Amino acid sequence: MIRNLGTSKLSKTGSHRRAMFSNMACSLLLHEKVETTLPKAKELRRVVERVIADAKNGRRVEVRRVIKDKEIYKKVFEVIAARYKERDGGFTRILKLGARRGDATETALVKLV
């Protein structure tokens, strides 16, 4: 039996989803907060938590698969991984902002703790 492996499809193809979360992760790590819809925020949290944990453990190749920009890649290892070296997990926080005016979609703010 084929089962879902725990990720939400968000009505997008796999390549679109990977590219979208790569870009959103870069924005979150650069600005340290990003506003998006609630389902995307919950999936983005999984991506960013793994990137920070891999950076803390020195797994450069795994981080490079998600983070394409060289400046953000450098920031992850020098600033962010050093900031969270004592923390085991829970590097992000999701704050619900309410419904969006145009289509009443639930929005959220994802920020680094």
CATH of the domain at 30: 3.90.1030.10
Helix (H) or strand (E) holding 95: strand 92-99
Interval 17-31 mean pLDDT? 97
Is 9 inside any structural domain? no
Interval 59-82 mean pLDDT? 97
Interval 34-50 mean pLDDT? 97
The structure's pTM equals 0.92
Contact indicator for 10, 43 with CB cutoff of 8 Å: yes
Confidence of residue 38 (pLDDT cuts 50, 70, 90): very high
Is 71 inside any structural domain? yes
Is 6 inside any structural domain? no
Domains in the chain: how many in total?
A: 1
Segments forming the whole domain that contains residue 99: 14-112
Confidence of residue 21 (pLDDT cuts 50, 70, 90): very high
